[in-house]
Amino acid sequence: MSFLQPVRPALRPLRSHLPALTGQRRSIITVRERQYTAHATASGQGRTGHVKSHDDGGIELTLAVPTVFGGTGKGQNPEQLLAMGYSEPACFLNAIQTVARSKGLDDIARDALVHAEVHIGPPNQVEGFAIEVDIKVQGVDDEELIKEGHKLCPYSRALNHGALVNVSKA
């Protein structure tokens, strides 16, 4: 038994103040001008149901709990959707290709592949679930180019710096 276990309940209210107490600051990158907005609606129970996008070439998917969590696995899940969105050409891959183009190295990333893995599980210090993301870039040997692409990618920015999330009643 950890020596902290008996005092953990008393420490819980302090969690929200930890960055201030340790001097850590986390800046949130916000949108100056909304140039495009994607719209989606989810329905169902918990992690099962349906999700539908309402924009250009909208898609509709059935959601299912992964088999590792006791579900059927006969559908998509949020982790798959995040992995696809992160790795796809409009995000991380596009960011790498944009950086390469800006340096006159168009060919260096033209045939690159981006592999994304999104892991979900219990977090270390709080309750609930947490995610971790592993991004692997295939076909680009320039580490600096990959790092610059990571800094430019909106998904990377949101996960590393936070994003403004507005929650309201519809």
pLDDT at 26: 66
Cα 114 versus chain centre, distance: 14
Cα gap 26→31, rounded to integer Å:
16
Cα gap 40→117, rounded to integer Å:
23
Cα gap 94→22, rounded to integer Å:
36
Question: What is the three-class DSSP state of 124?
Answer: coil
For the entire predicted model, the pTM comes to 0.74
Q: What is the CA radius of gyration of the chain?
A: 20
Cα gap 94→156, rounded to integer Å:
12
pLDDT at 19: 47
User: Could you read off the pLDDT tens digit of each residue along the chain, which spans 170 residues?
Assistant: 444 455 455 445 444 444 444 455 667 888 899 999 999 999 998 789 999 999 888 999 999 999 999 999 999 999 999 999 898 766 999 999 999 999 999 899 999 999 999 999 999 989 999 999 999 999 999 999 999 999 999 999 999 999 999 999 99
pLDDT at 28: 85
What is the set of domains in the chain, with CATH numbers? 37-76 (2.20.25.10), 77-170 (3.30.300.20)
